[in-house]
Every structure is written in structure tokens, then in C-alpha cells.
Amino acid sequence: MTDITADAETTPDAADPRFRALAGRPGKIIAIHLSYDSRAQQRGRRPNDPSYFFKPSSSVAASGSEIERPHGTELLAFEGEIALVIGAAARRVSVADAWSHVAAVTASNDFGLYDLRANDKGSNVRSKGGDGFTPIGPALIEASSIDPSALRVRTWVNGELVQDDTTAGLIFSLPRLVADLSQHFTLETGDVILTGTPAGSSVVTPGDVVEVEVDAPDAPGAPTSGRLVTTVSQGTAPFDPQLGSMPAVDDTQRAEAWGSAELAGLPSAEAGGTLGDELRRKLAAVPVAALSGQLRKRGLNNVTIDGVRPMHPGVKIVGTAKTLRFVPNREDLFGTHGGGYNAQKRVFDTVRAGEIIVIEARGDASSGTLGDILAIRAHARNAAAIVTDGGVRDYDAVGAVGIPVYSNGAHPAVLGRRHVPWEGDVTIGCGGTTVQPGDIIVGDNDGVIVIPPGLVEEVVDAALAQEDEDAWVAGQVAAGHPIEGLFPMNAEWRARFDAERSGR
């Protein structure tokens, strides 16, 4: 281990206990979004290149500190990470030379508050910038004494090991991160790079104790950072809704914060939403027209998604709705919501097996609302189908993916021509009909219908019975009987039908 605090008395903020593991307040803290293969597999996406965000130095805390879970929030998550402390300034350095610019490594915890994540997108300004959200320490390991490809990071929550991975599992090596960042700006002495977290990150609650340790178990002396200890406490000061957006969570955020839908207490991806195998089989056997008739009998007339046509005629779709809402394009809003890991990408990245992505595009088909890459992603996630009342870009390529799609037609323009991807997993309007997350969606060549989950068993059983009756009537008409009195059946024909069915 090394001590780079020898000149601490000449360094501003060196006496501040928050920075006692460092040489003083770091000028920059740069964190990476996704860097471990285990985490990428857990999230279901693997980046081609690293992407980053900044954390304020005011978020640094020392070992033994507390972190507040703010009042009115529920999804405070830990992320045990390896922190790099820059020694010699680095500007446009090579990968081969990058490690020589690192003075030390230590443990860090990149805490994040998922309740505030959506409105700051990839910047994470509020969701990861709070006071105490970046504990670092307690001791430094001299970088020149270790192999950057042979470091280990482990995390414990209340004494239970929950994260255990090594830098051999990184998608991007530690020297590559240093070299990449140095081509964009100067890494200065004392800057800190948080190098990402492996699988196992999850939610903690007040009273939990989180410990992170970084070590080099195969290096001489097996140097270690020691355990970085943070205790979670409950904040009492509420956010002011007059000043900014308030905390908000949905099931997508819960699943990502906890690490999986199962850990969050949500239905698993394999569960196919609320549909069991038998109910799914029944729905697949009933024409949409029959379901429409039964819903009409129950006073539900506005349940068809109008204006959409199947790209794969003859293919029946059945599933539960996962919703995505676009708002009309406004250039400033597209600038804040259209790029990065936007709502559209989040929905396609988190759709579960058996779900149908339903997109509100206000019936505007004058730009695409999805293309082949997103269709491939939905297909890989085992989504049941995609329904959009907007256009489809890369129409032939989307058709070749294999996932059933209903749309308002083809259009070559990209999303930003007409739409801003605004939010997912909310109540939307698609094709003139209201669709809520979890609604039952059924489609065939006649169109697409929305069934409230509380009515689906009753409606499908009644529709099956009606189909049996209609098939019997059709047989009688084909045999030469006149329609009058038979369709609908009068008392005489009803008695004959009941007698035949009871004796069957």
C-alpha cells in the first residue's frame, strides 16, 4: 500500500475528513456506466464502448460514514467499485502508458437513487450526486505494485457477500479507461475514476451496513484497501415540488435497482406477465371478433386499437401490455429526452417474455417509431409482439426479424422527425384506445383488442362458448336451413342446440 497524502498539509481540503483516504478534494470524479461482463449480462445489454458521467467531489465520504436515503424514496442502491487515483497528469496517453499515470487504487461505492434517475437520464446528476453518495477508501494500494488485470472487488451487506468479481471480467480494461478519458480532457493529479460495478448491485434500506473491499490477492503481500464501511440512515427532509421534479419509480426502475424482477418482488420475465399457459391457449383459440362481441355485451365498446395492420398476416398475437409513450417532437425536449438511454430504449431493453410493446404515437405515421435493431432486441427478449399506431422504419428488415408487428405503415424517417420518446410503463392512448400496463392484448387479421385483466377469464370463456354456438349455427345454415329463427336462435333452435350439446 502507498500513502499519497505526504503533502496533505499543502493541499486544499486535506483536513476535511471526507477526503482522508485521498490527497485532498479530487478535481474530477468520473464514473463509467457499464463495464463488467457480469453486469452486462444481468442488464441484458453490452456496450460497444465505455460511456461516462461525472460525480461532484462533494459526494465523497470516508469509511465509517452514513448515507441518507432521502425522504420519500425507496430505491437507494449500492455499487461496489474499484477507484483509480490519478498520479501524474495524463493527456492523450496510450493504453500501454496509461497505468503509469495511476498512483493508487482503492475501494469505492457508487451509490445511486433510482427514484431520481429518469429525469436526469445518463447524467445521473441528482441520482448519484448526493452528499455521501461516493464513499472512498479506507486505504490506498500503490498502482505500480499490482497488475490491473488481477484486482478483485467484493461487497458485503450486513455481513453477507453480495458482489465478488475481478478485473478479468471487465469489458474494458482499466488502462483503456484511463487512455480513453485522456483523449478528451486532461486527467489531473488527484482525479478519481470509478471503474464500474459487477453483478450483484441491489437496494439497501435504513439500518443496512454496506462494506466494499478491493484487493490484489495474487500480488506480493496481497495488498488490500481494507473494508470501506457505510451505514444507511433515513433522511427526514422532503423534496420541494415547487423547485424541481419529484422522486418517481415504476416497475422497470424497481427491477433494475434490485437487480432483477424477482428480487424486486415482481413477476419474472419467464412468467409472461399475468397470463398462465391455459389462459394464453384459450385466448389464442378465440378470434378477436368474438372477444370484441363479448366486451360489447359488457358495455366496453372502445377497446380496439384502430388503424394498425399486421406485418405478418395470419399470425395471432396474445400477451400483456408494456407501454411506451411518444409526445410530439419539440426540439428542446428531443434534446433532453431523445438521446442517450431514452424511454424507448429502456422499454425495449426491459420487455419481459410474453409481453407486447404497445406504442402511443398519436396515429402519426410520418416517421418511424421503431426499426430493425429495436425489433431484434424485443425478439431476443422473447416479447410476444409490438403494436404501434405510428410508422415502422426499415420495414422489410423488421418484417424479417420474426417478431409479429402491427403498425400504421412504413416510413423511412427517424423518430426525431415527429416524436420524442417520453416515458414507459404508463397509461397511454394507442389507436384511439386507452392501454394500461398489464392489459391483455390480442390481435389477428381483424385487428387488435384490449381486454381489462379483471375481465379476461370471463370474456374468453364466454367467447369460446359463443364460438361453439356459432359453429353449430353455421353447420345448420350450410345444411340448407334458413337464417330466420336460427341466427340468432329462437327457442326451438335453442332447445335443439342444447339437446345436442348435452348429449355430446
Average model confidence (pLDDT) across the chain: 89
Angle at 32 between CA 30 and CA 36, to 5 degrees: 145
For the segment 235-250, the average pLDDT, to the nearest whole number, is: 88
For the segment 62-66, the average pLDDT, to the nearest whole number, is: 96
The single-letter code of the amino acid at 2 is T
In sequence order, the 6+-apart residues with CB closer than 8 A to the CB of 495 are none
Residue 462 pLDDT greater than 80, yes or no: yes
> Among the listed ranges 208-212, 235-239, 270-274, 468-472, which one has the minimum average pLDDT value?
270-274
> Among the listed ranges 376-380, 481-485, 492-496, which one has the minimum average pLDDT value?
492-496
**Residue-range domain boundaries for the chain:** 8-258, 271-457, 463-502
| 434 CA to centre of own chain | 23
Distance, in Å, from the CA atom of 371 to the CA atom of 410, rounded to the nearest integer, reads 10
Neighbours of 92 (CB within 10 A): 9
* CA distance from start to end of the chain: 85
pLDDT of residue 476: 82
Question: For 8-258, which CATH superfamily applies?
Answer: Fumarylacetoacetase-like, C-terminal domain (3.90.850.10)
For residue range 181-200, list pLDDT tens digits in order.
Answer: 999 999 999 999 999 999 99
| 491 CA to centre of own chain | 57
Given a contact cutoff of 8 angstroms between Cβ atoms, the answer to whether 178 and 102 are in contact is yes
Given a contact cutoff of 8 angstroms between Cβ atoms, the answer to whether 386 and 404 are in contact is yes
pLDDT band (50, 70, 90) for residue 335: confident
Distance, in Å, from the CA atom of 333 to the CA atom of 421, rounded to the nearest integer, reads 9
Given a contact cutoff of 8 angstroms between Cβ atoms, the answer to whether 231 and 209 are in contact is yes
For residue range 257-296, list pLDDT tens digits in order.
Answer: 998 877 887 755 444 455 788 898 899 999 999 999 999 9
Enter the pTM of the model. 0.57
- CATH 1.10.3720.10 is held by the domain 271-457: no
Residue 503 pLDDT greater than 50, yes or no: yes
Distance, in Å, from the CA atom of 293 to the CA atom of 337, rounded to the nearest integer, reads 40
pLDDT of residue 14: 57
